[in-house]
Structure 1
Amino acid sequence: MIGTVAFYVGAAVAEIAGCFAFWVYFRLGKSVFWLAPGLVSLVLFAYLLTRVDSDFAGRAYAAYGGIYIAASILWLWLVENRTPDRWDLVGAAICLLGAAIILWGPRGT
């Protein structure tokens, strides 16, 4: 369980950082050199997501969505210095609950 969460968190950080690098280049007009670490980060994201302990890619991706949303709210706060409002926090909490249900809900065979 801890390994799965670690892979999800690592994947979320890598994806958000990679996409942010593209945001910085295309939206903020920064150097083209932002794209190289962005690409590396997105490759790392894809690799880490394959390491999640799940028999089905679709389930792994669905659960990842909740982790990604919560990590994006943290990014908003820690990197972009914008305090999340209560709706950001409530929405992220709901998404994490959904991810937990998908990951650890009881399943038949």
Structure 2
Amino acid sequence: MILRSIGLFVLAALLEIGGAWLVWQTVREGRAWWIAGLGIVALGLYGFAAAFQPDAHFGRILAAYGGVFVAGSLAWGMVLDGYRPDRFDVIGALVCLIGVAVIMYAPR
């Protein structure tokens, strides 16, 4: 169940961050309008990925996903935009991922 949850978080991050990046590319980089359309579709699909999490609590899922989003955004920037995080970016992302683990996977 934990592996499924992690996989869904990764999928959600790819869809949300990728969708936002496609919109960014259209607005900020002058790409074709249909690129933004693909981004909007990806952003909509993100909602479905989050909804399939095994945990039934919306607030918990979205709170934990926030940490995945932080780390995923930095990774996306590194891979696709040549961004190089500094040590504080890395520390902050690790803190967020620890928060994800505590929120989602701590024994209750």
TM-score, normalised relative to structure 2? 0.94
**For 1:23 and 1:8, how far apart are their aligned partners in 2?**
22
**For 1:27 and 1:47, how far apart are their aligned partners in 2?**
27
User: Could you tell me which residue of structure 2 aligns to residue 22 of structure 1?
Assistant: 23
1:28 Cα deviation from its structure 2 partner: 1.6
1:43 Cα deviation from its structure 2 partner: 1.6
User: Could you tell me which residue of structure 1 aligns to residue 78 of structure 2?
Assistant: 77
Structure 2 unaligned regions, length at least 5: none
Deviations 1:33-86 (A, max 9, x none): 111211121122111010111121000000101111111010011111111111
**For 1:37 and 1:19, how far apart are their aligned partners in 2?**
10
**For 2:48 and 2:70, how far apart are their aligned partners in 1?**
19
**For 1:96 and 1:59, how far apart are their aligned partners in 2?**
14
Match runs of 1:1-109 below 5 Å = 1-107=2-108
- What one-letter code is carried by the residue in structure 2 that aligns with 1:102? I
Structure 1 unaligned regions, length at least 5: none
RMSD across aligned C-alpha pairs, in angstroms?
0.9
- What one-letter code is carried by the residue in structure 1 that aligns with 2:82? N
**For 1:47 and 1:16, how far apart are their aligned partners in 2?**
14
**For 1:87 and 1:45, how far apart are their aligned partners in 2?**
28
Aligned length, in residue pairs: 107
TM-score, normalised relative to structure 1? 0.93
